[in-house]
């Protein structure tokens, strides 16, 4: 009886799906598609499809009974009949709740939106007419009397399109349509919704829920794919936390008194110093290897013993550098160290604490000044190499021109192989800064004029970079500006991003140049894909500093999908950047409003003078294993949630009909208390399961 009630409850909930838009696949009978491990015998569908082998055979029989002699028309008719197997057949065969005998044929008379170019939609309805207009079809599905009817034709006579319709215009008016944000059209092949193609019209707003009160600098999803993530603060503590389900009302499960690892004895913490990054090996669940990037003080820790980045190789004399606070040149250093979560008692994926004992020193380099030294580390999703983001090292206007200096690692993105460890002799011979190898395809591995660690150069202070989860070749970095412009760069192998010849798209004129200048004609700079002038932010600290985020790839907010989200550290502003058209490198940017969910687990504090959440400083963004995006702010941890929870309109999400679900709902009325979009997220998997019961 308990199982029956559960199934009845699910069936009840699925009734809400009947008028949903294209946010998820759905079949004409409102069930989820089948998952097949082979292609159907007649219709060209495999994987996700709305037909099983029996339905596929019925379509084949219908096609043969049509007795079409012309091969061209036969091919077109087959594709149209097989469209019932398309995972999006509910959208193709239902228009304004009315069933159709023929899918909506892509038609040039109705303009398409940005998700399908005109060349993709302009020919198919005309192609059907031109190919089949003079061909006899038995039981033709194109009869006028079948409009608004589903199922097989009732006429047994052989007819031509010219017998049924006066013109192509009449025919395409009846059966044609276009693809937009709430419908799709059929172009002769299985529907392919490339959701990278995001409308350039910005969403109404970004809805946030506050799930934690702590202030953290880094967040990394647990490599085991679970609903856990690591959080670290600038002082050097790392915690393992459990993330609540979106909309559950739960909060971040994190015990501040019990960190996963405490590195505060090694980390030098100050305004510009601390633990700047952490990364977990792609095989962490098996080998337990993880890495921390932090700053140290050689006057207080003997392990802080790297070479100074200001040296004769880069035409810099440490004795000539004047530092603030009485510090000595390269007193402070940047470190990447390896640690282990291996335990004899359990697998690394289940370990909840690790020893702060350093396993291996990966990298150490002394810093010339006390600011602008980046420090983020992350593994490339495709190549498994460690990327290290390094700022120019400080000093107003990069006086020693480190970012353009080919022998300096300052102002660079480095790419290191931490799995193939060279011998001490090899490290010394190659002049490496630690225990790592140079990947064979690094752009300057064989160039004696450039350091082999370098992947890209000409960065000022990259503050938070990320790979697009769907297109890993898109490596996006926010680069902090000097006085005028904050930028986002699309990082490519060997790319030069201009600093300090340029600040963003503007020429930069340094006030002092003891390290010399780089001529404008000697570089081929790559300009930002987006960014903002300092005059564009609502500054509450009299400054601006960009914080990079992520390309949004979660299904939680379908109107945010495919947009790059980033913010400003001081101003509390949030922007989204949208590429249009796809793969063009052309991005449009919009400052986006944001609000706090009505049912946020932790109440959001209002900003002074308005109702917006008071985020404080936006230190970083994070991403979990579901690709949900988080904001790590001085006032807490926030997650991007469904727009309807903030009453933001999104055509691809059905808003909830009840603002507050009743406690402990019974199966008979629980559906009305659930969000339609949440049901969509789980319905496909549940229905697949039920189909086998």
Give how many domains the chain has, as a whole number: 3
Tell me the per-residue pLDDT of 601-611, one tens digit each, with 9 for 90 and over: 999 988 776 66
Q: In what order do the strands lie in the sheet with 289-297?
A: 275-280, 289-297, 332-340, 360-366, 307-308
Whether residue 45 sits in one domain with residue 5: no
Under a CB-based contact definition with an 8 Å cutoff, are residues 211 and 639 in contact?
Answer: yes
Comparing CA positions, the residue from 531, 610, 542, 612 lying closest to residue 570 is: 542
Whether residue 115 sits in one domain with residue 29: yes
Tell me the per-residue pLDDT of 291-339, one tens digit each, with 9 for 90 and over: 999 999 999 999 999 999 999 999 898 888 866 556 688 999 999 999 9
pLDDT classification of 20: cutoffs 50, 70, 90: very low
Question: Cα separation of 343 and 354, whole Å?
Answer: 9
Tell me the per-residue pLDDT of 495-517, one tens digit each, with 9 for 90 and over: 999 999 999 999 999 988 888 99
Whether residue 347 sits in one domain with residue 438: yes
Chosen domain end from 159, 177, 195: 177
Whether residue 9 sits in one domain with residue 88: no
Domain encompassing residue 12: 1-20+662-693
Tell me the per-residue pLDDT of 520-547, one tens digit each, with 9 for 90 and over: 999 999 999 999 999 888 655 557 999 9
Whether residue 303 sits in one domain with residue 171: no
Question: Cα separation of 180 and 185, whole Å?
Answer: 9
**In this model, does residue 110 exceed pLDDT 90?**
no
Under DSSP, the state recorded for 109 is T
Whether residue 58 sits in one domain with residue 14: no
Whether residue 676 sits in one domain with residue 573: no
Residue 109 domain-assigned? Answer: yes
CATH number at residue 254: 2.120.10.30
Under a CB-based contact definition with an 8 Å cutoff, are residues 569 and 538 in contact?
Answer: no
Whether residue 683 sits in one domain with residue 633: no
What pLDDT shows up at residue 176?
Answer: 87
Q: How many helices (H) and strands (E) does the chain have?
A: 11, 36
Question: Would you state the structure tokens that stand for residue 629, as one six-digit string?
Answer: 């995006």
Rg (the chain; Cα; Å):
29
Comparing CA positions, the residue from 100, 76, 126 lying closest to residue 183 is: 100
Under DSSP, the state recorded for 583 is T
Whether residue 255 sits in one domain with residue 156: no
Comparing CA positions, the residue from 215, 131, 257, 278 lying closest to residue 618 is: 215
Q: Cβ neighbours of residue 691 under 8 Å, at least 6 residues apart?
A: 31, 32, 34
Whether residue 266 sits in one domain with residue 165: no
Average pLDDT over residues 649-653: 87
Question: Cα separation of 628 and 247, whole Å?
Answer: 12
Residue 201 domain-assigned? Answer: no
Residue 199 domain-assigned? Answer: no
pTM of structure = 0.69
Share of the chain above pLDDT 90, in %: 62
Residue 111 domain-assigned? Answer: yes
Question: Cα separation of 407 and 405, whole Å?
Answer: 6
Whether residue 146 sits in one domain with residue 230: no
What is the secondary structure of 63-109 as a DSSP string? HHHH----HHHHHHHHHHHHGGGSTTHHHHSEETTEE-SS--EE-TT
Whether residue 381 sits in one domain with residue 320: yes
**CA atoms in the 13 A half-sphere facing the CB of 396:** 7
Under a CB-based contact definition with an 8 Å cutoff, are residues 158 and 136 in contact?
Answer: yes
Cα of 636 vs its chain's centroid, Å: 22
Residue 212 domain-assigned? Answer: yes
Highest averaged pLDDT of the listed ranges 146-150, 154-158, 650-654: 650-654
pLDDT classification of 656: cutoffs 50, 70, 90: very low
Tokens 């282990």 found at: 340
């Amino acid at each position: 009886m308990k199982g029956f009630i559960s199934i009845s409850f699910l069936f009840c909930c699925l009734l809400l799906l009947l008028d949903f838009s294209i946010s998820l696949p759905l079949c004409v009978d409102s069930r989820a598609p089948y998952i097949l491990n082979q292609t159907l015998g007649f219709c060209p569908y495999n994987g996700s499809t709305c037909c099983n082998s029996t339905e596929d055979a019925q379509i084949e029989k219908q096609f043969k009974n049509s007795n079409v002699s012309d091969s061209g028309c036969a091919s077109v008719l087959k594709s149209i009949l097989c469209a019932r197997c398309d995972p999006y057949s509910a959208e193709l065969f239902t228009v304004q709740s009315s069933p159709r005998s023929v899918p909506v044929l892509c038609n040039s008379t109705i303009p398409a939106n940005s998700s399908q170019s005109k060349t993709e939609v302009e020919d198919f309805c005309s192609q059907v007419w031109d190919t089949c207009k003079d061909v006899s079809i038995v039981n033709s599905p194109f009869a006028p009397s079948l409009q608004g009817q589903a199922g097989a034709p009732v006429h047994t006579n052989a007819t031509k399109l010219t017998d049924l319709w006066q013109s192509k215009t009449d025919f395409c008016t009846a059966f044609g349509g276009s693809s937009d944000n709430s419908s799709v059209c059929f172009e002769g092949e299985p529907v392919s919704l490339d959701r990278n193609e995001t409308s350039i019209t910005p969403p109404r707003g970004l809805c946030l829920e506050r799930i934690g009160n702590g202030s953290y600098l880094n967040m990394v999803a647990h490599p085991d794919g679970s609903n856990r993530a690591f959080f670290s603060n600038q002082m050097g503590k790392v915690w393992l936390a459990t993330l609540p389900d979106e909309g559950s009302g739960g909060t971040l499960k994190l015990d501040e008194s019990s960190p996963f690892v405490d590195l505060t004895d090694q980390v030098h913490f100050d305004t510009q110093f601390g633990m700047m990054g952490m990364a977990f090996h792609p095989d962490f669940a098996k080998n337990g290897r993880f890495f921390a990037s932090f700053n140290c003080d050689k006057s207080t820790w003997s392990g802080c013993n790297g070479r100074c980045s200001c040296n004769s190789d880069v035409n810099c004399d440490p004795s000539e550098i004047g530092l603030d606070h009485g510090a000595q040149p390269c007193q402070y250093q940047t470190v990447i160290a390896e640690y282990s979560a291996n335990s004899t008692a359990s697998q690394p994926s289940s370990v909840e604490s690790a020893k702060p004992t350093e396993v291996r020193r990966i990298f150490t380099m002394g810093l010339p000044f006390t600011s602008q030294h980046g420090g983020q580390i992350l593994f490339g999703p495709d190549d498994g190499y460690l990327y290290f983001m390094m700022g120019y090292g400080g000093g107003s206007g990069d006086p020693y021109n480190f970012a353009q200096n080919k022998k300096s690692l300052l102002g660079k993105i480095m790419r290191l192989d931490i799995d193939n460890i060279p011998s001490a002799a090899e490290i010394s011979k190659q002049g490496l800064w630690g225990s790592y190898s140079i990947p064979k395809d690094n752009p300057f591995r064989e160039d004696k004029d450039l350091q082999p660690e370098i992947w890209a150069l000409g960065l000022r202070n990259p503050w938070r970079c990320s790979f697009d989860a769907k297109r890993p070749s898109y490596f996006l970095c926010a680069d902090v500006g000097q006085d005028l412009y904050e930028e986002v760069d699309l990082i490519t192998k060997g790319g030069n991003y201009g600093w300090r010849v340029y600040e963003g798209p503007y020429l930069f004129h340094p006030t002092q140049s003891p390290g010399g200048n780089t001529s404008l004609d000697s570089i081929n700079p790559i300009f930002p894909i987006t960014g903002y002038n300092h005059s564009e932010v609502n500054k509450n600290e009299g400054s601006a500093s960009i914080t990079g985020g992520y390309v949004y790839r979660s299904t939680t907010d379908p109107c945010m999908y495919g947009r790059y989200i980033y913010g400003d550290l001081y101003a509390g502003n949030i922007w989204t950047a949208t590429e249009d058209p796809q793969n063009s490198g052309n991005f449009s940017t919009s400052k986006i409003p944001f609000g706090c969910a009505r049912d946020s687990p932790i109440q959001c504090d209002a900003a002074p003078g308005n109702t917006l959440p008071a985020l404080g400083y936006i230190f970083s963004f994070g991403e979990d294993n579901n690709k949900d995006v988080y904001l790590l702010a001085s006032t807490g941890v926030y997650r991007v949630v469904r727009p309807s929870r903030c009453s933001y309109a999104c055509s691809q999400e059905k808003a909830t009909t009840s603002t507050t679900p009743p406690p402990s709902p019974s199966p008979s009325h629980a559906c009305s208390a659930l969000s339609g979009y949440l049901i969509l997220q789980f319905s496909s998997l549940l229905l697949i399961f039920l189909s086998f019961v």
